[in-house]
């Protein structure tokens, strides 16, 4: 975690103390159990949260409870065939609802926009770089997608990525690649593999100290990132006010508002990990929130994109902004694209 992020966390702590607000009611020496997937990236991200909480509350013990999820157990089946993002979260959510965990740390982009009854997002941390990253095979002389010869194979597990790239670079081919980041990189670098490059989330590579593998960053107008990409979300039980108060020191307002608007957009469009919806959200120069969003057909031949801005001061306004942007997309024809995708879901090629 960067010194800037830590400074923001500590400043939040000072603000809470200075404001005289009541702190969490946890007794000292209580153990707070934090759920995580067992992958290396998931554990790195969970340790970022645990370490920040431990620094803020030295008298509380924070224990990481790691487990393997449905998505981790099956590394061969294409993501779209699972049908929902809950494959990364549902086993951990069972433990949360059974009071065997106090919180779960997720990559926010892996969290369904409709959480199970009794669960809610307790905090969204400051966003890492949300862009996608181009990673060329080790030793490759190519530096960009434009450089790749016709028929070159791009490895990605995301129809959002493949659909947008097909639109710009129809000369490229795409193959699914599953596994954790290390496994995917090993598949890429295997001299016998067909992959010329991979497209991965920059945030994961940076958190794993693999930034040197990034050949280049991809962003608009070529590739808009996934909803919530780059942010960490902490899930808690609805009604657990003590844990909610404890997490106040971690929440980052701008990231929270941006990500809630993005999640509202996706929820309205009923999109998921197998639907090509891309976004970019930022603070405009006039203080408003600016969102770019795109929906692309699976073959990249049809697309609808919009750019909207609105004054967004709180979570309710962020939720409304997402719905407004979704409405603009539908009015421009995105609904027809999504309907065709849903009718042909068996042909989705992640």
pLDDT 10s digits, 215-266: 999 999 999 999 999 999 999 999 999 999 999 999 999 999 999 999 999 9
Q: Is the peptide bond before 221 cis (omega within 30 degrees of 0)?
A: yes
Sign of the C-alpha dihedral computed for residues 14, 20, 23 and 29 taken in this order: positive
Nearest C-alpha neighbor of 160 from the set 278, 279, 25 = 278
Report DSSP state, residue 39.
S
323 three-state secondary structure: helix
- Which active-site residues does the annotation give? 110
| The predicted structure's pLDDT at residue 85 | 52
- Whether the CB-CB separation of 2 and 207 falls below 8 Å is answered with no
270: left (phi > 0), else alpha (psi -120 to 50), else beta?
A: left
320: left (phi > 0), else alpha (psi -120 to 50), else beta?
A: alpha
Nearest C-alpha neighbor of 127 from the set 8, 247, 221, 38 = 8
DSSP string, 193-259: --EEEEEEEHHHHHHTT-GGG--EEE-TTT--B-TTTT-EEEEEETT-HHHHHHGGGT--HHHHHHH
Q: Give 271's pLDDT tier (boundaries 50, 70, 90).
A: low
Q: Mean pLDDT, to the nearest integer, of 317-335?
A: 96
Q: Give 341's pLDDT tier (boundaries 50, 70, 90).
A: confident
Q: Give 12's pLDDT tier (boundaries 50, 70, 90).
A: low
The full set of domains in the chain, from first to last, is: 29-125+230-251 (3.40.190.10), 132-218 (3.40.190.10), 252-349 (3.30.160.40)
Mention every residue, 6+ apart, whose C-beta is less than 8 A from residue 341: 275, 276, 297, 298, 348
pLDDT higher for 4 or 109?
109
Q: What percentage of residues in the chain have a pLDDT greater than 90?
A: 76
Find the range with the poorest average confidence among 61-70, 199-208, 269-278, 286-295.
Answer: 269-278
What is the C-alpha separation between 33 and 64, in angstroms, rounded? Answer: 6
List strands edge to edge, sheet with 173-175: 173-175, 153-155, 195-201, 132-136, 216-218
| The predicted structure's pLDDT at residue 274 | 60
């Amino acid at each position: 975690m960067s010194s800037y992020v830590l400074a923001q966390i500590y400043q939040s702590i000072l603000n809470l103390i200075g404001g005289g607000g009541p702190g969490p009611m946890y007794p000292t020496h209580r153990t707070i159990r934090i759920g995580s997937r067992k992958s290396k990236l998931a554990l790195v991200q969970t340790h970022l949260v645990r370490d920040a909480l431990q620094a803020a509350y030295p008298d509380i013990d924070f224990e990481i409870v790691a487990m393997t999820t449905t998505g981790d157990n099956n590394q061969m089946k294409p993501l779209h065939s699972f049908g929902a993002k809950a494959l990364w979260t549902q086993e951990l959510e069972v433990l949360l609802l059974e009071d065997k965990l106090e919180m779960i740390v997720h990559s926010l982009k892996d969290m369904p926009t409709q959480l199970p009854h009794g669960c809610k997002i307790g905090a969204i941390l400051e966003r890492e770089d949300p862009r996608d990253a181009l990673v060329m095979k080790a030793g490759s002389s190519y530096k960009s997608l434009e450089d790749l010869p016709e028929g070159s194979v791009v490895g990605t597990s995301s129809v959002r990525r493949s659909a947008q790239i097909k639109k710009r670079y129809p000369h490229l081919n795409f193959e699914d690649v599953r596994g954790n980041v290390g496994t995917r990189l090993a598949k890429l670098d295997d001299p016998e593999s067909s992959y010329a490059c991979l497209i991965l989330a920059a945030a994961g590579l940076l958190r794993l100290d693999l930034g040197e593998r990034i050949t280049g960053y991809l962003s608009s107008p070529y590739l808009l990132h996934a909803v919530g990409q780059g942010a960490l979300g902490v899930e808690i039980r609805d009604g657990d006010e003590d844990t909610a108060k404890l997490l106040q020191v971690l929440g980052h307002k701008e990231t929270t508002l941006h990500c809630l608007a993005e999640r509202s957009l996706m929820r309205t469009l009923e999109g998921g990990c197998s639907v090509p919806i891309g976004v970019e959200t930022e603070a405009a120069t006039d203080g408003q929130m600016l969102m770019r969003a795109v929906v692309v057909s699976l073959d990249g031949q049809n697309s609808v994109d919009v750019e909207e801005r609105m004054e967004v001061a709180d979570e309710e306004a962020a939720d409304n902004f997402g719905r407004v942007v979704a409405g603009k997309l539908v009015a421009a024809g995105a609904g027809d694209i999504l309907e065709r995708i849903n009718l042909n879901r068996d042909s989705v090629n992640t």
